[in-house]
Amino acid sequence: MKAKLTELSVARIRPPTSGRLEVWDRTLPAFGVRITSTGARSYVVAIRKPGATHPSRIKVGEPGCTALADARARARELMADPSVLEPQDQAKPDTVGTMAAEYVERHLKRNTRRWRDAEQMLARDVLPQWGNRLAADIGRRDVLDLTDGILDRSPVSANRVLSLIRRMYNWGLERGIVEANPAAGIKPPHREHPRDRVLSDHEIRALWGGWERMGYPFGTIQQLLLLTAQRRGEVAALRWDQLDLDRGVWRLASTDTKTGREHVLPLSPQVIETLHSVPRFVRSPLLFPSSRHHSDRPVSGFSKAKLLADRLSGVEGWTWHDLRRSAATGMARLNVPPHVCERILNHSGSGMMSAIARVYNVHSYQTEMGHALNAWAREVERIIEIGERKVVNFAVRA
């Protein structure tokens, strides 16, 4: 697309709905302005370097920061003698590795709390295969081969990797790093079914016994997960300054929650008693630090902990998230209203009614949440005590 570029006309160009738009100057061919779908604008000059098949786009300024006349002057200088290119202008072609690093640093770290998960997924599943390849050279066949290889090992991981590649390349499109997204239009390789696993009373009794034998930290963490219905990452990263045990409150700031909203959770007497039993380390703000040498990091090793819980309890086929689902189901069984359960779970919600509730309903539901969690903790106690009474009665009869 060509047009007579002026300061005003550049400002009036509407961003494309996706990808990027280049408008070339009628006054000075090979000089133009590039606009991405996010509205970012930059002055560029197209220069064919010796031996190159296609001309390279060299940035010579930004509208609003660089005067159009100055950008044109810089473009003329480079067109007359490309050897005067400065080191920062002579950028090497982007590899998948460099694009991934920039994606993590410039986008994920600024926009999501779980950026480390994506960074680890890239390091484990993508970069070993593609890291040194040019990002623009990755094609649809490459994406399919990569996800098919992961599918044999972990079907769900294959879906997650495909989604991550698609998001990263969409970001690369907006930044002008690549011209196309090789993952666009590819369907997830594995059809996922929502889990509906809820622990039975018998399984809760067996697991609780295993958790008591495990003790601190993982046994305690699993007990708290079942009693509070909170997310594993939030319990594992629990800090002493989030707790007010005298008032019986756990306060998570917006930066500590998956939803990005502050969450204030009333604590049942059973949870408070459990928290009082947790050892306090002088050098660590965490209840469950990784180690004495890494006191600022939450504990890790959940896969091994679950295997131990399976062995001690004899219960298998459950996941960490099933504890949260079992707690929510148990509260529903105790006639806890759905909206109160949603507040306890701190779900983000979706749909028109949830959006209206978030905007207009500012009631904290602290009293209702407290009643619900107290009732659930008593129910867990009842379930455990039934098992203990059976053991005692069996021993008496024997």
Whose CA is closest to 85, among 67, 55, 59? 59
pLDDT at residue 397 in the model: 42
Residue bearing tokens 């601190």: 216
Q: Tell me, what DSSP letter sits at residue 134?
A: B
Query: Burial of 163 by CB count in 10 Å (0-12 exposed, 13-18 middle, 19+ buried)?
Result: middle
pLDDT at 259: 77
3-state secondary structure of 257: coil
User: Is residue 358 over pLDDT 70?
Assistant: no
Distances (CA, A) of 168 to 177, 189, 371: 11, 18, 44
Which residues make Cβ contacts (< 8 Å) with residue 47, sequence separation at least 6?
30, 55, 56, 58, 78, 79, 82
Q: Residue type for 69, please? A: A
Residue limits of CATH 1.10.443.10 in the chain: 201-397
Helix (H, G, I), strand (E, B) or coil at 73: helix
Q: Could you tell me which residues come within 8 angstroms of residue 329 by beta carbon, excluding any fewer than 6 positions away?
A: 198
| Bridge partners for 21 per DSSP | 35
Handedness of CA 288, 291, 295, 301 (dihedral sign): negative
Token output for 336? 């806890």
Higher pLDDT, 259 or 82: 259
Amino acid at site 20: R
pLDDT digits (tens, 9 = 90+) for 148-190: 999 888 888 899 999 999 999 999 988 878 888 999 999 998 8
User: Which residues is 263 bridged to in the sheet?
Assistant: 252
Task: Please name the CATH architecture into which domain 2-84 falls.
Answer: 2-Layer Sandwich (3.30)
Nearest to 45 by CA among 35, 34, 199: 34
Q: How far apart are CA 162 and CA 191, in angstroms?
A: 13
Q: Which CATH number fits domain 96-175: 1.25.10, 1.10.10, 2.30.30, 1.10.150?
A: 1.10.150
Overall average pLDDT of the 240-263 stretch: 90
Residue 345's φ and ψ, nearest 5 degrees, are -75, -15
* Contacts made by residues 300-304, CB under 8 angstroms, sequence distance 24+: 301/218, 302/218, 302/232, 302/236
Q: Contact, 233 vs 321, CB < 8 A?
A: no
Find the range with the poorest average confidence among 96-105, 150-159, 365-374: 150-159
Place of tokens 């993952």: 183
CB atoms within 10 A of CB 173: 19
Task: Please state, for a pLDDT cut of 70, what percent of the chain lies above it.
Answer: 87
For the chain, where do the domains classified as CATH 1.10.150 start and end? 96-175
**Tokens matching residue 242:** 């989030």
Sheet arrangement for strand 56-61: 2-3, 20-25, 31-36, 41-47, 56-61
Residues spanned by CATH 3.30.160.390 within the chain? Answer: 2-84
- Local confidence band at 388 (pLDDT 50, 70, 90 cut-offs): low
Nearest of 228, 224, 252 to residue 239 by alpha carbon: 252
Q: Using the predicted structure, report yes or no on whether residue 192 has a pLDDT greater than 60.
A: yes
pTM for the whole thing?
A: 0.60
Torsion of CA 172, 87, 72, 61, to 10 degrees: 50
* pLDDT surpasses 60 at 340: yes
More confident: 181 or 193: 181
Helix/strand/coil for 20: strand
Mean pLDDT on 14-27: 84
The CATH number given to 201-397 is 1.10.443.10
Structure tokens at 207: 């697991």
Query: Per the structure block, which two tokens stand in for 344?
Result: 């306890």
3-state secondary structure 213-274: HHCCCHHHHHHHHHHHCCCHHHHHCCEHHHEECCCCEEEECHHHCCCCCCEEEECCHHHHHH
In terms of phi and psi (left: phi > 0; alpha: psi -120 to 50; beta: otherwise), the region of 184 is: beta
Tokens of 351: 């749909």
